[in-house]
Amino acid sequence: MKRRYGSFTRREFLRNSGMLVAGLAGGQTNVHETRIIARPLLNPNSLEKFVDSLPIPGIIRSQGTRPSPENPASVIPHYRLAMRQFMSKVHRDVKPTRLWGFEEGSPGPTIETRSSEALLVEWANELPKAHFLPIDHTVHGAEADKPAVRVVTHLHGAKAPANSDGYPEDWWLPGTSKTYYYPNRQDATHLWYHDHALGITRLNVYAGLYGNFFVRDSFEDGLNLPKGKYEIPLTICDRSLDLEGQLYYPISPDPESPWVPDCFGDAILVNGKLFPYLDVEPRKYRFRILNAANGRFFHLALSNGQEFHQIGTDLGLLPAPVRLKSLLIAPGERADLVLDFSGHAGEKMVVTNDSLTVMQFRVLKSGTPDTGALPTALRPVPKIAESDAVKTRVLTLGEKDDKATNPVMMLLNNAHWDMPVTENPALNSIEIWNLLNFTDDSHPIHLHLVRFQILDRRPFEPEYYYKGGRVEYIGAAVPPALNEAGWKDTVQAHPGMVTRIITKFEGYTGRYVWHCHILEHEDNEMMRPYDVLPLR
């Protein structure tokens, strides 16, 4: 199954095409930094900035209780979230944009619960039967005989039974729903829900199908971190809009194969708004950052150079706050930040993504006194000993090319989605996964079900592996940065590096997946199933 741009290689097409070709900047670490534009697009910089206040998604309440799947004699909260099409004003001066979202919101409403308090969510598909974004029927799982609109919701970072994980082939159609069970037996953390339908995840998420999910616990409560109106989710993504304010998704010039390996837009949305502002008091705030972009890595900083602290990562608190002046966050990753506006009363600060503007903070002249200090110690993160690993796997990240230079598809361990499962850890076993990146891209690799720790990254020589299957290192191992030294579910695997992670496969047996969280890659074969087997 080859991906071609007509009779051209990718580079030839970009050089010869009469279409507009726009290079993108602003925090993107990957090399495929070009998009193919088939119609005129809105230039976000032509709009007045900071005219819309930042919307805060509401917290959804349960619709009642239902029997627990694990203990039918007890009842647990039941939620229902419907996926619908709606129109939304992403900017005061832009016409309403057609989106898909949960409960007519993108991001959808926030689900909030507590550790070990189980709940049920009915994910209802109330979408139209026709998709409004371009489906590539040559992509595996999106063939022409498949319904155009189908969904399956994955709660990213959840320790959930396999039948509630959102397996990509377990989709459901408009007019139907599925109910998933989430035991929430994990520490306080920031999860997020999004569509995961095989072959069209990139389109469904781009359309707006995602939202936040917070788990709380008593340990976090005791740290006296900013809360209530001083704790704010910031869900960031990039989109392209046409002159009518409608979403534009890039396509190749081949109408039979519109898939492209990247999707970058220069309209940066925060909680669904373009260039929003937020009024803040001169005190500490907690910001729960989620990168919900298809492929863009965000490099976030404040225009005045002010420092901030990162206190948590994907799956919980760090051992101690980490002082930063900028944050690099990949698709699928989360970052828990504390920003102190004390001493900045009356000032305005802009959040930037390199050359792109994200949002503005407007510091009020007064507010509620903030006397609590940021704790110097947060949550211990016991290291998993490498000696406890019962297996070490060598897994490759690669591109399959045609005879020229056009990337055809992305592969994990040189295997396609429907090939036999090769990763089959036993329940409660510990493994080390060596991720060898042979591409020129950074790939955010996500494992479902589990949390893991990053051991190190080390440069290697690909030629030795090509010729003899031997990993030859050409530099010293680099430990994870301090703000990566917590529990992760998504890791940035950089080009030319072996990224080592260690994890315990605990929770449940069954079939799960691991994949690149660049959604264009995930949809084109850079995803593999894995099985957690019962103890022997």
Question: Domains in the chain, ordered, with CATH?
Answer: 52-221 (2.60.40.420), 386-532 (2.60.40.420)
Model confidence pLDDT, tens digit, residues 97-140: 999 999 999 999 999 999 999 999 999 999 999 999 999 999 99
Tell me if the bond preceding 40 is cis, omega within 30° of 0: no
Facing residues of 528 across strands? 514
Q: Would you say residue 18 has pLDDT above 90?
A: no
Lowest mean pLDDT: which of 107-116, 202-211, 401-410, 457-466?
Answer: 401-410
- b/e sequence 497-523, b meaning 16+ C-beta within 10 Å: bbbbbbbbbebbebbbbbbbbbbbbbb
**Cα angle 34, 524, 103; round to 5:** 90
Q: Of the spans 1-15, 28-42, 510-524, which averages the highest pLDDT?
A: 510-524
Q: According to the model, what pLDDT value does residue 535 have?
A: 86
With residues binned 3-state (H G I as helix, E B as strand, rest as coil), the percentages for the chain, rounded to 5, are 10, 40, 50
How far, in Å, CA of 24 to CA of 15, rounded? 16
pLDDT at 348: 98
pLDDT band at 403 (very low <50, low <70, confident <90, very high): very low
Strand partners, 327: 300
Extract the tokens encoding 460. 């290697």
Dihedrals phi, psi of 104, to nearest 5 degrees: 60, 40
How far is residue 280's CA from residue 302's CA, in Å, rounded to a whole number?
15
Q: What is the mean pLDDT of residues 10-31?
A: 35
Please report the DSSP string for 274-294 in residue order.
Answer: ESEEEEE-SSEEEEEEEE--S
Considering the chain, what is the average pLDDT of its residues? 92
Polymer length in residues for the chain? 536
Q: Which residues contact 466 (CB under 8 A, 6 or more apart)?
A: none
Mean pLDDT of 173-202: 98
